[in-house]
Structure 1
Amino acid sequence: MNMIHMSRFFPKNMPQRLHGLQIWGKLRQEQMSEAVSITKDTVTEFLKRQIERGDWKTVQEVLRGKPMTTAGKFLLEELRDSVVSKLIFRLGLRKVIAVGLVVVLLPLILAKVAGQLISKVKQTN
């Protein structure tokens, strides 16, 4: 995915925000890496479950970063809550830090997953 396409998904200052959050939360690099991994795995598992249920249109809304329907908004909130819970449970983070990480990481991970799916679809065509 090129940078122009990715810029629609998240602001340009995202790396600075992530670094600031790491300093504020006193998180080690290993914790940040684990948080990224947990977020990616959770997003992938969650989206697969939704697709298996036949909820492809709602998944598309979330991947595009524009959940406009009630179902899309609910799905995004459910995904956020799931990632926050896993970060708290697996890394022992305080809720405020876990929520901050999700606010920064989730758009990045969703953009990456969307880019990977677009690449796979283009390869099959």
Structure 2
Amino acid sequence: MRAFLPERPDQKYMQLMRWGQLRREQLHQAILVTKDTVLGYLKRQIERGNWREVQDVLRGKPMTRAGKFLLEELRGRVVGNLIMRLGLRKVIAVGIAFALLPFILAKVSGELIGKARKD
């Protein structure tokens, strides 16, 4: 997952804000919406028994057909929620989703690994 993390994440966020013409609070809301969407979606998939696919997505390697499907569906849900909750245009929501999703997935996988190590 480290491959997804930029050297200077603050610089990436500033570029994203300029490109999407977003205010700092809108970007913060977009991050929260993305995180809520990811967590909710992954929990539902785990409850359905799709643990291996979720694990592949969290590792950043959705090699299986089901893992690729989960990642595409997750991206679509994030874009939809950004449009609905924040009222963003589709092109901006897609750009934000593609930029934020790897960071959020890396953070979620890091938190899960940390919890697993404690247990």
TM-score normalised by length of structure 2: 0.94
Paired residues for 1:12-51 under 5 Å: 12=7, 14-51=9-46
Q: Secondary structure of the residue that 2:108 maps to in structure 1?
A: helix
Runs of 4+ in 1 over 6 A off after TM superposition: none
Offset of 1:8 from its aligned partner? 2.8
User: Any unmatched runs of 5+ in structure 1?
Assistant: 1-5
Find the aligned partners of 1:45 and 1:12 in 2 and give their Cα distance.
28
CA RMSD of aligned residues (A): 1.3
Of residues 85, 94, 114 in structure 2, which corresponds to 1:90? 85
Find the aligned partners of 1:28 and 1:40 in 2 and give their Cα distance.
19
Q: Which digits, 9 at most, give the CA deviation of each residue in 1:39-61, with x for residues without a partner? A: 00000000000000111000000
Find the aligned partners of 1:25 and 1:48 in 2 and give their Cα distance.
30
User: Any unmatched runs of 5+ in structure 2?
Assistant: none
- Given the alignment of the two structures, is residue 76 of structure 1 paired with residue 66 of structure 2, yes or no? no
Find the aligned partners of 1:98 and 1:15 in 2 and give their Cα distance.
19
**Total equivalences in the alignment:** 119
Paired residues for 1:85-124 under 5 Å: 85-124=80-119
Instruction: Give 2:110's aligned amino acid.
Output: G
Match of 2:49 in 1: 54
